[in-house]
A and B are shown apart, each in its own frame.
Chain A
Amino acid sequence: MVERQSPLELELRSGSHGDFEHGVEVILSETRPGSILQLAAWPGQEKALIAGIRTVTGLALPDGAGAGSTDGVRSVFGFAPGKFTVVDEGEGLASAFANVVTPAIGTVTDLSHGRTAIRIAGPKAEWVLAKFFAIDFALPAFPVGAGRSTMHHDVFAQIQRTGADQFDIYVFRSFARSFWKALCHASEEVGYEVQ
């Protein structure tokens, strides 16, 4: 496989930054998953698609808009009616779905090279994200595994909560560097570490 270059390379500086003398309260990293897919079901085929996601990833999707789940290696969440983002640390997830999501069920779009995945974790992750996005980040409103589609200054973002204090953000690759820089600036006040 061709080695993938990160759009963040020029700006990703490992170490502690900002006001970290009182402690590091968020950790920023690029998770670099091998596969990022978008699956869409034709109307009426949603249940068949959800079953297919379970067959391939082993992940069961809870009921409801924006619901999702993660096992640390693979993640899935709904981001629109009948549409799901599926992520795998490894490459080749699109071919695994090719025989499961038949043309009668829906579509598989491989966005692995089109999205950049940024993780923000730590006790102030909610606080920093709340400055960016006008959505409710409180745990009861945004449970672990769930996903949200929203935007920051016209940069479209899909956000999945992958832990009580941890969020994975998927942004367009072409906007990823400027989004990353903005996220670093927003994290300065709480002290952040780049891993």
Chain B
Amino acid sequence: MLITCPYCGPRDVIEFTYQGDGNRERPQPASQDLDAWNTYVYDRLNPAGDHNEIWQHSGGCRAHLRVVRNTLTHEISSVAFTRGDHKVDARHKAEGKI
């Protein structure tokens, strides 16, 4: 499985660390809303298909990435930085355009 880091280009999955489900919304740390915490900790969509995930390129630029991975095929259809508006089309890097 290859993930095309927006900074580093296509890299083997061994360079990345999974940081969890990208659909979760973390409540404010002081929140007393038990339902919101329950949802954050336990509820998962578990789709058979495209899934929003957070990965870190821990063995490369160390950026955190928002990845859409197909759970049936492992196809990666989208990769973007989690922070800022550094959204670079991953293919540009693969083609050496940036």
Contact = CB atoms under 8 A, between A and B. Distances in A.
Interface in A125-145: 134-136, 140-141
A135 B9 CA distance: 9
A64 B7 CA distance: 9
B62 interface: yes
B7 A65 contact: yes
Contact of A65 (B59, B84, B93): B93
B42 to A, nearest CB: 32
Given A65-B93, A81-B7, A81-B81, A151 B15 contact: yes
B59 A154 contact: yes
Given A65-B93, A66-B8, A134-B12, A151 B61 contact: no
B8 to A, nearest CB: 6
Interface residues of B, number: 21
A150 interface: yes
A148 B98 contact: no
Interface residues of A, number: 20
A162 B8 CA distance: 18
A150 B15 contact: yes
A64 B98 CA distance: 5
13 contacts: A64-B98, A65-B7, A65-B8, A65-B98, A66-B7, A81-B61, A81-B81, A135-B11, A141-B96, A149-B62, A150-B11, A150-B59, A156-B59
Interface of B: 6-9, 11-12, 14-15, 59-63, 81, 83-84, 86, 88, 93, 96, 98
Interface of A: 43, 63-66, 79-81, 83, 134-136, 140-141, 148-151, 154, 156
